[in-house]
Chains A and B, each alone.
Chain A
Amino acid sequence: MLIQEGLSLEEKLKILTDAARYDVSCTSSGVGRRGKDGFLGNSRTDGICHSFSADGRCISLLKILLTNQCIYDCRYCVNRRSNDTLRTAFTPEEIGTLTMEFYRRNYIEGLFLSSGVLDTPDYTMEQIYRALLLLRREYRFNGYIHVKAIPGADPALIEMTGYLADRMSVNLELPTAGGLRTLAPAKTREKILKPMRQIQLGIARQLEREGRLESRGIRMDSIGREPSLPDPASALEEGSGHLKTGRPVLAEGSKSPEKGRPALMDDGGSREGRPRAIPGKSVYGNFGLGRVSAYRPYFVPAGQSTQLIVGATPESDYQMMAVAEALYRNFGLKRVFYSAFVRVNDDSLLPELPGGPPLLREHRLYQADWLMRYYGFAASELLDEARPNFNLFLDPKCDWALRHLEQFPVEINRAPYETLLRVPGVGVKSAVRIVAARRRSALRFEDLKRIGVVLKRAAYFITCSGRMMTPVRLQEDAIAAALLGEERRRLPFDSSGLYRQLSLFDDFHLQEGEKSHGSLCV
């Protein structure tokens, strides 16, 4: 490994940013904290983006590595030991100064500090802890800090670090244990899940101390007595054992409701096995204190997140979503991030991806993730073993609605909140507004427009006081064609390749449409 001495701060910043950029999570959300005298910074629950880089992603935090030296050799990673790149490290003072000076100028909301594994996990975690301690105590920084917990590090170090950070994350990276074995031989499921579980318990205890467990829909009895918990690690392992036969991870869960039940939340209201949708809140219970005082330390108040790489290994979307769902239910994660695989290393075990990173697939996974957390969809409703991948041409919600036309139309003036949420073109905000506004007077189509409903999509699925917007009831194919045209305009991509794919599909659909009725999956 080439460790370069005497680099300037400019050179170090370039190297250690280049090395950090593949971790996609860059949000500064989840914690609200006011400023305090003598300190720099505050934090807003909804987070703030300060810029957008040339790839269109939000820049919120100073996302850097402490060092890009690493003793491991994960095949997908730029920093793997066997890569012949320049290695360097920041001093804690450099990190402190950069964070403070960037923050003062309103470039960033805070710091996202990650690191390669230097010598040992313990040593690395200790360096991270020191950098954070300096930043909080000496430099008096009160803004947002997201920090990585290094698997294998002493739990005491992770605990201490958690009291200085707002968010912690441990990246699962590959959704199955088999995938990890092939691409990250030094990592195992257990090693990654251990700190994740520790952080989950730490957050739960913090919530308990604050008397906020119940209001978050989390049951301490199911967390406290560990044996009564379904073993999430083995639940995850179990699924991956079936990977070769193509069976989805956690398939068990969808069949026997007992096993698939969220371990840490009371989802009593779900007769159909769906988690209950709480207006504007995640259905998995809010792990993380959220609003905090600036005058006391808290353990990871913005909650825990992780990242899954999309498309480095051959898991289906269903397997990905099932893993994500289990992470939310059993590990109390606040966010799961999806990162389209970028082939930075030439390695025979990595897929070729001639079309570039699978961005559209990543986009669909995010949409589905949103549907699980805020709309009360279960992974098994969106996909199943027979249909393991998302329709690339329609968003998962439209796709679901088209496959469940028997549940529509929905009457806007009567349907419960959960049902409104399932209407394409109705988002969380507009569903909340509908429920509030209809108390005063029955809503008409023109009212829905003001409320923010996208009628272009919703029109096919709703009635207002018994009337459809258009007099003719359309067939599935016609609705699908209309939605497809609309979807094309909403995609956040500019890729001409994708448009070609879409028009090809239109041709396909025109021919197939007459013969077979229905399925839009390709």
Chain B
Amino acid sequence: MVLYVCEDSTEGILCGVYDAWASRLGHDRVGLALAGAYNYEMFTEYRPVLTDRAKAQKVERAVRGKISERAWRWVYRATLSREKEKADAVYRFLIHGFHIGEAVTQCLQIPQVHALFALNRAVACEAHHQKEFLRFSQLPDRVLFARIGPKHDVTPLLMPYFCDRMPSERFVIWDAGHERAGVHVKGGLWYLLAGREAARAAALEKETDAGRYALLWQIFFDSVAIPERKNEACQRTHLPLRYRPYMTERFSRS
């Protein structure tokens, strides 16, 4: 068994796919793992994967051209998952994908297809929840700032969405868990920051002013509920507790 050990990023995983495929060892004898996220086993050879943009792009083009845009979206989202087995899941899915072609995304009965579908769905779902529940507050100069704590690394999915809806706003989305920041400075161009750069963006949080609109929002939020229909269990199913610390509105405790 040969395990290709790749970096935990979209490009890293795609390069892992490339190397494993190019090895021609046979699909049963190769696998993918994320660096630092596997247990050593005897009789397994570990080969580090070098992340290289050109290789990753080749894989991306092949997926989009030979399978489908939809398959590519699934793969892309899956690479943002927090699950450790995602790299191998992508590889196993692509084996079927290159064999079946476009119809692969309809074959949920195939366990490896379903596994990738499930990863993709969990990430898409998290991104959707963030689009719903993420809250901006305002920095001096009308810059908007949001702190989020998503399970999966969804900032790259949020940025194009908010850029489209707020092309004239400058904003920062800071993912405190993954320590990444997305930054938009007008005109639809956005950047993803990591490391020290991201930490500088995070420091902006101290400067936000909760402000009048947060209060107005709280008034609206409290008033719009119909007292005779109070149903906190239902509220909890739709709006899980883990999102609430990041939100502007305060939820009353019964």
- Chain A positions near chain B (C-beta within 8 angstroms): 9-10, 13-14, 17-18, 20-22, 34-42, 48-59, 62-64, 98, 101-102, 104-107, 143, 340, 342-343, 356-357, 359, 433, 436-437, 439-441, 443-444, 447, 450-451, 492-494
- Inter-chain contacts of B203 with A (CB < 8 A): none
- Inter-chain contacts of A53 with B (CB < 8 A): 221, 224-225, 235
Nearest Cβ on chain A to B51's Cβ, whole angstroms: 33
Given A13-B223, A105-B137, A106-B135: 9 more A-B contacts, CB < 8 Å: A10-B216, A42-B164, A51-B247, A53-B221, A62-B220, A63-B224, A356-B229, A439-B103, A443-B109
Q: Which one of B2-10, B18-26, B31-39, B166-174 is at the A interface? A: B166-174
Cα distance, A143 to B224, chains bound together (Å): 21
Q: Which one of B80-88, B126-134, B177-185 is at the A interface? A: B126-134
- Inter-chain contacts of B109 with A (CB < 8 A): 437, 440-441, 443-444, 447, 450-451
Closest residue on chain A to residue B105 by CB atoms: A436
Asked whether A105 lies within 8 Å of B219 as measured between CB atoms, the reply is no
Main DSSP-derived SS at the A contact region: loop
Partner of A55, one of B138, B163, B168, B229: B229
- Inter-chain contacts of A439 with B (CB < 8 A): 103, 106
- Inter-chain contacts of A357 with B (CB < 8 A): 228-229
Cα distance, A251 to B103, chains bound together (Å): 46
- Inter-chain contacts of A21 with B (CB < 8 A): 223-226
Closest residue on chain A to residue B168 by CB atoms: A38
Nearest Cβ on chain B to A294's Cβ, whole angstroms: 10
Partner of B132, one of A35, A49, A55, A436: A49
Cα distance, A58 to B249, chains bound together (Å): 14
- Inter-chain contacts of B164 with A (CB < 8 A): 34-35, 42
- Inter-chain contacts of B169 with A (CB < 8 A): 40, 104
- Inter-chain contacts of B252 with A (CB < 8 A): 54
Cα distance, A115 to B17, chains bound together (Å): 59
- Inter-chain contacts of B247 with A (CB < 8 A): 51
- Inter-chain contacts of A105 with B (CB < 8 A): 135-138, 144, 213-214, 217, 248
- From known contacts A52-B239, A105-B137, A340-B229, infer whether A37 and B168 are also in contact, taking CB-CB under 8 Å: yes
Asked whether B216 lies within 8 Å of A9 as measured between CB atoms, the reply is yes
- Inter-chain contacts of A356 with B (CB < 8 A): 228-229
**Tally of chain B residues near chain A (CB < 8 A):** 56
Cα distance, A63 to B221, chains bound together (Å): 10
Cα distance, A38 to B238, chains bound together (Å): 34
Asked whether B237 lies within 8 Å of A492 as measured between CB atoms, the reply is yes
Q: Please, what's the 1-or-0 string for B205-247, where 1 marks a CB less than 8 Å from any CB in chain A?
A: 0000000011111011111111111111111011100000001
Cα distance, A62 to B106, chains bound together (Å): 39
Is B146 on the interface with A (CB-CB < 8 A)? Answer: yes
Asked whether B133 lies within 8 Å of A104 as measured between CB atoms, the reply is no
List the 10 closest A-B pairs by CB distance, nearest first: A56-B234, A447-B109, A53-B225, A436-B106, A17-B223, A494-B233, A55-B229, A56-B231, A54-B225, A42-B165
Q: Please, what's the 1-or-0 string for B85-105, where 1 marks a CB less than 8 Å from any CB in chain A?
A: 000000000000000100100
Main DSSP-derived SS at the B contact region: helix
- Inter-chain contacts of B62 with A (CB < 8 A): none
Cα distance, A367 to B146, chains bound together (Å): 37
Asked whether B229 lies within 8 Å of A107 as measured between CB atoms, the reply is no
Nearest Cβ on chain B to A338's Cβ, whole angstroms: 13
Closest residue on chain A to residue B223 by CB atoms: A17
Asked whether A13 lies within 8 Å of B219 as measured between CB atoms, the reply is yes
Is B107 on the interface with A (CB-CB < 8 A)? Answer: yes
Q: Which of B111, B132, B137, B146 has the most CB of A within 10 A?
A: B132
Asked whether A451 lies within 8 Å of B108 as measured between CB atoms, the reply is yes
Closest residue on chain B to residue A442 by CB atoms: B109
Closest residue on chain B to residue A443 by CB atoms: B109
Partner of A40, one of B168, B220, B232: B168
Closest residue on chain A to residue B106 by CB atoms: A436
Partner of B114, one of A39, A342, A450: A450
Partner of A14, one of B167, B217, B223, B234: B223
- Inter-chain contacts of B138 with A (CB < 8 A): 105
Nearest Cβ on chain B to A414's Cβ, whole angstroms: 16
Cα distance, A333 to B251, chains bound together (Å): 35
- From known contacts A21-B226, A35-B166, infer whether A54 and B235 are also in contact, taking CB-CB under 8 Å: yes
- From known contacts A10-B215, A35-B167, A54-B225, infer whether A450 and B231 are also in contact, taking CB-CB under 8 Å: no
Nearest Cβ on chain B to A383's Cβ, whole angstroms: 25
Nearest Cβ on chain A to B114's Cβ, whole angstroms: 4
Partner of A56, one of B132, B213, B223, B233: B233
Asked whether B234 lies within 8 Å of A494 as measured between CB atoms, the reply is yes
- Inter-chain contacts of A340 with B (CB < 8 A): 229
- Inter-chain contacts of A52 with B (CB < 8 A): 234-235, 238-239
- Inter-chain contacts of B228 with A (CB < 8 A): 342-343, 356-357
- From known contacts A34-B164, A37-B167, A106-B134, infer whether A55 and B114 are also in contact, taking CB-CB under 8 Å: no
